[in-house]
A and B are shown apart, each in its own frame.
With several copies, the nearest count.
Chain A
Amino acid sequence: MDINFSKEDLAFRQEVKDFLANKYPKHVKEKQEKGISLTKQDMIDWHKSLYEQGWAGYNWPVEYGGTGWSPIQIYIFQNELAHAQCPTILPFGLNMVGPVIYTFGSQEQKDKYLPDILQFNTWWCQGYSEPGSGSDLASLKTKAVKEGDYYIVNGSKTWTTLAQNADWIFCLVRTETTQKKQEGISFLLIDMKTPGIEVKPIITIDGDHEVNSVFFTDVKVPVENLIGEEGQGWTYAKFLLMHERFGIAGVPNQIFSLKKLKEITKGRIDDDLQREIAEYEIELNALEFTELRSLAALANGSHPGAESSILKIKGTELQQWLTDIYVRSAGQYILPYEGPDGFDSNSVPSGPEYSHTAVSRYLNFRKTSIYGGSNEIQKNIIAKAILGV
């Protein structure tokens, strides 16, 4: 056992640092540091800079244009990005549909989709949840009926993140009504420009427009857009959910956010607040090392399993805790609300700067224990898969 990074790992870290110092787009960097929202083009520029470095497929195998990095390298990479306050790497193409395509797709599909995903020429979104199917995902009702060379898709998806920017959506659809609801589900790629698709914004309690409803009315989808076999969509979906949870604990971002909080509260005499921050920090350290243990297991050849549910639960609990500490440390100065269009006055309210974003972040993070399989569902998974009850 050895806790230290190897020489190779340290060299790799330096390489990432160099990239961040030299090739991370300046206009993105500035906005990030000032807390200004990024435009769609900013996000594209950011992802393209990674692609140009050869790092877009940071978690992909080499044969599909990925880096082939070890879990530890990915960990180092993500840490450095968080430390440099980089934007999120959008997961929909690179972490979700990409791995599904290269694992279960045909050669034609690989050739057609993977390069655009890596180059961020296409913005993907995820069509899983439906109004009636949240935790009970397999009860989904969006129908795809085969007619000649097309599937005719009818139904609706909800909580679709950034669908307003998306070029493509990957969907779970019902191609057959079966006894067992997990059967009869298929995995379909749909061009968002196809007639019959309508995207309607959902405003969340933080006032943001991040998620959407997507409605499908007689949408014609070529049969070659089916991934793998018809009726096997649930298998692919589970595969994807496992991958989605990789990194879901959000440790690097929390470390960065904690550092800022400590700067903000430095010298304040609220003993109880300082103590609570220490309690949080201890649990964050524990979570970080729990993630490292699971990375070590991955590096040893094991597959991501129900352990990732622990990371999801603890990670989101801690993220939510941290946003709550921010809120409480800001006192009454949290009240003025900066909507998506800024404050409704030309001036910025008085009070410490961090107090203006504290509540929005707090409210925004409420979703993390709900999406990606709610924490209650994760506990059911652990109970069944690990405890065997």
Chain B
Amino acid sequence: MNLNYSDEQLMLQEQIAKFCSADYSFDKREKIIANSLGHSIEIWNQFAELGWLALPFSEKNGGLDFGPIELSILFEEFGKALVVEPYLSTVVMSGYLLDNSSVDSSALIEEIISGTTHVSTAYVEANSGYDYLNPQTQILNGKLNGNKSIVLNAKHAKYFIVSASDNSEMLIALVAADAAGVSFNSFRTFDGQTCGDVSFENVDISENAILFKGDEAIAALNEMINYATLCVSAEAVGCMSETVKKTVEYTKERQQFGVPISSFQVLQHRMVEMFMEAEISKSLLIKSMLQLNSKDPNALKTLSSLKAQIGKSGKFVGQEAVQLHGGMGVSNEMSIGHYLKRLTAIDSQFGNRSYHIKKFMHL
């Protein structure tokens, strides 16, 4: 047993942390969100140059073949800086499906790695809740019909990866966003990102656009969600530790009754509780990424425990941070409320606390 990052991992962490603190200030983030795109092409290109977009892809597809540990490192740092760029959607989610399909997607992956192309995975439907294995969307006779919800970064996707059913088994298909019959509405999300409703009406699907079929489709979708779950959990851990740090700093500066409010014992203990929540969440993150990395038989149970804990701890840390910031906590100008927003969003994604406790109980 060895719980220390390797030198390579430490270097990666340092690189990301340095980038975020130098090039991703909260003010800059606010400007990025305010632009019509909702994220920054410039930043995305920097990600490409730094090689981050290649991180999880297999070597045969031009990637670095990094796994759960490195992704967790990346997302923990992203969480600290509240990065809004659609790494999760394009690289982790769509990337996983493209990289692991038996259909050769190396050209498209090359575009992703170079930063020129976004791909979004459309697997949620308006009535699906967290059950993504029973899509109402259908592919029959080479035609795709159906509606998808909460498609992350839909607006910028050159392709959609779509889950569907042919009435006997599950299919996962790659569809060009500009194909005839594809339309979408894009929405801002409350945490500074974008998502969309995407409709498919009699869209032609050729046989070689089917990335996965049947059990393989189910396995790929499950595995993709697992990776995404780990990533947002790591992001939440980053959000939490940064939130605690900022709250401690704020209370040291903020004076009331002639003293810094950090001198009030009630606030001190509250911050200690926040700190402990962040720490125990981090513990489950480490356990989870290591078990996923070593393909431990308990890995999925641990992953559900992590996501469940994140839901509870994230809410506590985020809410208390706002409370301890007082009026400033509810002001949109301050970063602190945005951590609460992102933590709230993360709990809702890929199964919330309640969902994962049930999963934990049945695994």
List chain A positions with a Cβ less than 8 A from chain B: 1-6, 9, 72, 129, 132-136, 139, 158-159, 202-205, 207, 270, 272-275, 278-279, 281-283, 285-287, 289-290, 292-293, 296, 300, 310, 313-314, 320, 324, 327-328, 330-337, 339, 343-347, 349-351, 359-360, 362-363, 366-367, 369-371, 374-376, 379-380, 382-383, 386-389
If A351-B126, A386-B275, A389-B271 touch, whether A203 touches B332 (CB-CB below 8 Å) is yes
Residues of chain B within 8 A (CB-CB) of A300 are: 4
Interface centre among B147, B271, B338 (most CB of A within 10 A): B271
Residues of chain B within 8 A (CB-CB) of A274 are: 361
In the complex, what's the smallest C-beta–C-beta distance from B56 to chain A, in angstroms? 17
When the two chains form the complex, which single residue of B126, B330, B354 contacts A272, counting CB atoms closer than 8 Å? B354
Residues of chain B within 8 A (CB-CB) of A388 are: 248, 252
When the two chains form the complex, which single residue of B1, B319, B326, B344 contacts A4, counting CB atoms closer than 8 Å? B1
Q: How far is the CA of A381 from the CA of B302 in the complex (A)?
A: 31
Residues of chain A within 8 A (CB-CB) of B290 are: 1-3
List chain B positions with a Cβ less than 8 A from chain A: 1-6, 9, 69, 124-126, 129-130, 147, 149-150, 185-191, 195, 197, 248, 251-252, 255-258, 261-269, 271-273, 275-276, 279-281, 283-284, 286-287, 290-291, 293-294, 296, 302, 305, 308-309, 315, 319, 322-323, 326-327, 329-333, 337-338, 340-341, 344-345, 347-349, 352-354, 357-358, 360-361
If A327-B344, A370-B330 touch, whether A387 touches B268 (CB-CB below 8 Å) is yes
Residues of chain B within 8 A (CB-CB) of A129 are: 327
Interface centre among A202, A330, A371 (most CB of B within 10 A): A202
Residues of chain B within 8 A (CB-CB) of A159 are: 327
Residues of chain A within 8 A (CB-CB) of B271 are: 383, 387, 389
B280 and A382 within 8 A (CB): no
B3 and A273 within 8 A (CB): no
A286 and B327 within 8 A (CB): no
Query: Known pairs A328-B353, A334-B345, A363-B190. 10 more at Cβ < 8 A?
Result: A132-B255, A135-B261, A207-B332, A285-B287, A293-B286, A335-B187, A345-B186, A351-B150, A366-B330, A379-B273
Residues of chain A within 8 A (CB-CB) of B319 are: 320, 366
Residues of chain B within 8 A (CB-CB) of A330 are: 348
Q: How far is the CA of A320 from the CA of B188 in the complex (A)?
A: 24
If A333-B149, A350-B147, A383-B272 touch, whether A328 touches B347 (CB-CB below 8 Å) is yes
If A366-B330, A387-B248, A389-B262 touch, whether A293 touches B187 (CB-CB below 8 Å) is no
B268 and A374 within 8 A (CB): no
Which residue of B is nearest A287, CB measured?
A: B280
Q: How far is the CA of A313 from the CA of B277 in the complex (A)?
A: 12
B286 and A334 within 8 A (CB): no
Residues of chain B within 8 A (CB-CB) of A379 are: 266, 268-269, 272-273
Q: How far is the CA of A202 from the CA of B333 in the complex (A)?
A: 8
Q: List 19 A-B contacts (CB under 8 A).
A: A1-B293, A3-B290, A3-B294, A134-B326, A136-B257, A202-B332, A204-B332, A205-B329, A281-B360, A282-B305, A282-B309, A290-B279, A350-B125, A351-B150, A366-B323, A380-B265, A380-B268, A382-B276, A387-B272
If A327-B348, A343-B187 touch, whether A286 touches B332 (CB-CB below 8 Å) is no
A333 and B280 within 8 A (CB): no
B266 and A2 within 8 A (CB): no
